[in-house]
Amino acid sequence: MKTTLDIPESLLNELLDSGDFSSKKEAVNTAIEAYLQDRRVAALLAAAGTMDDFMTREELERIRDDGQR
């Protein structure tokens, strides 16, 4: 999708200097992907330990140990 954006030149230049991008488009797309990935990771970390139905690390290790015998 083509979109016109008013990106501050200083931010775009800093982004371009920070990586080995072949174009401004690649730099912006990579930055968007990195931002979205960070948000996904943050959501997973926020959910850590909030689900009671999952086994603990100790229970998992016990099951693994029992399976090796």
pLDDT digits (tens, 9 = 90+) for 20-54: 999 999 999 999 999 999 999 999 889 887 877 77
Closest CA to 19 of 8, 7, 33: 33
Is residue 30 a contact partner of residue 19, using CB atoms and an 8 Å limit? yes
- 69 pLDDT above the threshold of 70: no
Closest CA to 2 of 21, 25, 19: 25
pLDDT on residue 56: 83
